[in-house]
Amino acid sequence: MLSFCTTVKNRSRLQVDGSDLLLFPNCVQSLRGAKPRGLDCELVVTDWDSDDWPLIDWLEDMAAPISTTIISAQGSFSRGKGLNMAAEAAKGDKLFFLDADALLCAALIEASVRYAADNKAYFPILYSFDDAEHRTGQWIDAGYGHCAVKRSIFEQIGRWPEYNKWGGEDDKFFAAMSAAVPIIRERVNGFFHQWHPNDLTWKSRYYETYPDLLDELRGADAVRGLLREWIPTGSTFILVDETRLGDEAIAGSRALPFLESRGEYAGPPADDETAIRELERMRSGGATFVAFAWLAYWWLEHYSEFHQYLRSHYRRVLANERLVLFDLRTLER
């Protein structure tokens, strides 16, 4: 059985600029229409006290003939915890972790079953709409929120990190999965992300968290100031921030994401060897510093050999609660 696991807080009927956004109902309808004939599957939803359109009023009928289970969760919204709760209640040996604002297609589901059965982790890439009418958009190559994988592998890597703030769990989950099994990444035609407001305040409104959000915004400003202070204008540098700081982090220079592919963020490295190899490739290409924003400090612990390589080969010029910075221009002696 393939179990679709998701978690929601008011994603069924959102009021935006006087219109209803039926994000999760659209997702469920797309799942029902995309399910391959003969595939045994279910939909398990962890609901954090949604009050926009109670799931019990519509979910079972809209999903039929796909069976549904609703798990109730209380307290501050946590995407990782909600997905873990859904996985615990799921019956399938294969799990597909699904965002409630996605639109699915048959090719996606067929590939998910195939790759999961082959003991691989499937992180499909979707096309994200930029406007409410879904006329324009772009591929989100840096997104890691959707994953199909065997339950045994999911348990082996320690499940989803459980944060009470928006963002961060996807990259850590992807890094842990990359270290355990082969990863499949591919763009899937017909796999979409529905438009909704995209600012950090809107995304974070159901987390515990407004103080944490303010701290993150203040921290981002502090990091940008440090980058302006330490990195010469016009330089090219590597910024490890899980793409959280935005284009403003360039600070008059060219910031490259890490890992990087064709100038775009390519996710965390599979292992320390990959991180070291890619660092040296980018240094040879002109990168003069590598900067770790506090949001990605877990990299320094998770990729311990990579961290040791940096410390033994390059001068660490700054290390505080917001930024760790290595100068790649001169080898340490």
Number of domains in the chain: 2
> Are 189 and 315 in a shared domain?
no
The reported pLDDT for the residue numbered 212 is: 58
- Tens-digit pLDDT profile for residues 263-272: 788 889 989 9
Q: What tens digit of pLDDT does each residue of 230-241 get?
A: 998 889 999 998
Predicted structure pTM score? 0.77
Q: How far apart are CA 181 and CA 115, in angstroms?
A: 11
Confidence of residue 166 (pLDDT cuts 50, 70, 90): low
Rounding to the nearest 10 degrees, give the CA dihedral for residues 219, 223, 226, 227: -170
Q: Could you tell me the two tokens for 266?
A: 């390519």
Mean of pLDDT values over 272-285 = 95
Whether 37 and 149 share a structural domain? yes
- Indicate whether 25 and 173 sit together in one domain: yes
Residue 205 or residue 145, greater confidence? 145
Instruction: Specify the pLDDT at position 242.
Output: 81
pLDDT digits (tens, 9 = 90+) for 21-39: 899 999 999 999 999 999 9
CA–CA dist 89, 44 (Å, integer): 7
pLDDT score for 264: 80
All residues at 6 or more sequence positions from 266 whose CB lies less than 8 Å from its CB, including other chains: 141, 142, 257, 259, 260
Instruction: Choose one of 201, 231, 254: the last residue of a domain.
Output: 201
Backbone angles phi, psi at 127, to 5 degrees: -100, 125
User: Within this chain, do residues 240 and 190 fall inside the same structural domain, yes or no?
Assistant: no
Q: Is there a contact between 185 and 139 (Cβ–Cβ < 8 Å)?
A: no
Domain termination residue (choose one: 145, 169, 201): 201
Is there a single domain that holds both residue 171 and residue 319?
A: no
Domain final residue, candidates 137, 171, 201: 201
Which residues constitute the domain of residue 253? 209-331
Q: Where are the beta strands (DSSP E) in the chain?
A: 2-8, 14-16, 19-21, 41-47, 67-72, 94-97, 102-103, 121-129, 137-139, 147-150, 183-193, 236-240, 254-257, 260-261, 264-265, 289-293, 314-319, 323-331
Residues 122 and 245 in one domain: no
* Residues 92 and 52 reside in one and the same domain: yes
My answer on whether 273 and 231 are in the same domain is yes
Statement: residue 19 has pLDDT above 90? no
Look at residue 202 in the predicted model and tell me its pLDDT: 53
| Residue 205: predicted pLDDT | 55
Same domain? 178 vs 243: no
- Residue 209 clears pLDDT 60, i.e. is over it: no
What is the reported pLDDT for 43? Answer: 98
